[in-house]
Amino acid sequence: AAAACLSPIFRGRDWFEAAMPWLYEWPLLLHLKQGLSRYAGSLAEAVDMDRLLGSRSLRELEESLFCRTRSRPTSWEVYWERNEPLRDADEAAVPVLCLCSADDPVRGPPARSLPMELFRSSPYFFLLLTPRGGHCGFPRRAPGRCWGHEAVLEYFRAMAEFLRTEERRKGQPRPRRWGGPAAEPPVFTWQRSYTR
């Protein structure tokens, strides 16, 4: 009935092509290679493991893993036509909270990485943009404490309560008129967004 994203990457192709600072990219690249190397035997049937493990950027790794497959190779352009995260955003039919921070070093500056037009035009997408929080961190002042997951859980609680209330109202009979128009509070319902 609802969804949430913590520090999402909205424009995948742009993100891979822009590359993030090496201080963040190299550890992530090494972590991904280490994880993929565990499945080298199985993956070797589908991808060139030497090329994959020799990748020098996240883009090269992505391209080796998904574009240069042995059975169905595809171009970088075609891959993103099918896999761009915002490709079907106008098809969303549930409210989606996106929790982002302005200082996210992985996603990049909000001016170029956040699809503000989506948040302005879609009744389903909500943006909670904080000045600080890093990438998926959202720390409190006390060490070891983060508030991002608490905000998402509170959002889910509020959405569940909203939807329960809406269902109860739909099941109630219409108020009777006693000499004038009925004074019924408006019931908010989401309308499908057609932004294409």
14, 48, 103, 135: the catalytic one is 135
Is 104 catalytic? The answer is yes
31, 90, 104, 149: the catalytic one is 104
Distances (CA, A) of 150 to 4, 125, 147: 12, 19, 5
First-to-last C-alpha distance (Å) of the chain: 23
Consecutive H or E run containing 100: strand 96-101
Structure tokens at 12: 């995948």
Is 50 catalytic? The answer is no
Write out the DSSP string of 7-57: S--S-HHHHHHH---HHHHHHHHHHHHHHHHTTHHHHTTTS-HHHHHT-SS
Active site residues: 104, 135
